[in-house]
């Protein structure tokens, strides 16, 4: 159970990348975590597995979203926050995209974000905080190919801005804050296919001279669910090293 100042937090996309970094950061800070992912979770890498529970689930499935939120409450007694990192990457170019793939990307990334946020909010009986995830690719317009987000991915992540602001206004009366984080290029499985030239271009755009690390993004997500961010809602926070995308 969480300590006196600890929270119970759902993290989606928890098995790898930024989601896993969020899990590690939350556990280190004394919180309890319900980690959701379609992929198996590397529990052997956890610093403190006693306050962690895993749920294998599809965030595009409404019943799975409710199951995640209910399991967090059943296990830890309450739900205080959610960090939603799960997403479907799409590198298809405008010529390669099919209507089915475009629709699937929007279903997972946009509808899934809404379904997961609603399921979490329904369990936050004493207020709380939700963090959704956009992408720096919406600022530069990713074209796809070689690991880069294409039109379907960029469109889905642009929609998160409107969704965040609508949910912030919708959930404010019940004491729930909703913000989004917009990461720039980060060393995760989504960027594993970047070639050397692409990495050099990312570093050249960055004012801090490197790609982002999962911990860079996770630390801001953890701030947004904290009491220190209690006067923030409806905001989109760019974390991109000054590189824009």
Catalytic positions, written as ranges: 153
As given in the structure block, the two tokens for residue 56 are 């294998």
Contact 152, 92 (CB under 8 A): yes
Centre a 10 Å sphere on the Cβ of residue 1 and count the other Cβ atoms it contains.
11
- Strand ranges across the sheet with 52-56: 52-56, 32-37, 8-12, 81-84, 128-133, 176-183, 236-239
How far is Cα 14 from Cα 237, in angstroms, rounded to an integer?
A: 20
């Amino acid at each position: 159970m969480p300590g006196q100042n600890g929270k119970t937090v759902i993290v989606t996309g928890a098995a790898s990348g930024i989601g896993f970094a969020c899990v590690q950061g939350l556990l280190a800070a004394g919180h309890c975590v319900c980690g959701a992912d379609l992929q198996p979770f590397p529990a052997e890498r956890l610093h403190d597995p006693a306050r962690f529970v895993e749920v294998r689930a599809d965030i595009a499935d409404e019943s799975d979203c409710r199951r995640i939120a209910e399991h967090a409450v059943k296990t830890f007694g309450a739900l205080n926050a959610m960090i939603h990192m799960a997403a479907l990457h799409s590198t298809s170019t405008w010529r390669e995209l099919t209507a089915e793939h475009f629709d699937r990307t929007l279903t997972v990334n946009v509808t899934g974000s809404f379904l997961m946020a609603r399921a979490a909010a329904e369990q936050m009986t004493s207020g709380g905080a939700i963090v959704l995830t956009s992408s720096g690719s919406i600022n530069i317009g990713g074209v796809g190919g070689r690991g880069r987000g294409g039109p379907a991915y960029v469109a889905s992540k642009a929609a998160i801005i409107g969704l965040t602001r609508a949910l912030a206004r919708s959930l404010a009366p019940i004491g729930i804050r909703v913000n989004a984080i917009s990461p720039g290029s980060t060393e995760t499985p989504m960027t594993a296919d970047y070639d050397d030239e692409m990495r050099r271009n990312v570093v050249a755009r960055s004012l801090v001279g490197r790609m982002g690390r999962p911990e860079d993004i996770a630390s801001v997500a953890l701030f947004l669910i904290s009491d220190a961010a209690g006067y923030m809602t409806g905001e989109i926070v760019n974390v991109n090293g000054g590189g824009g995308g």
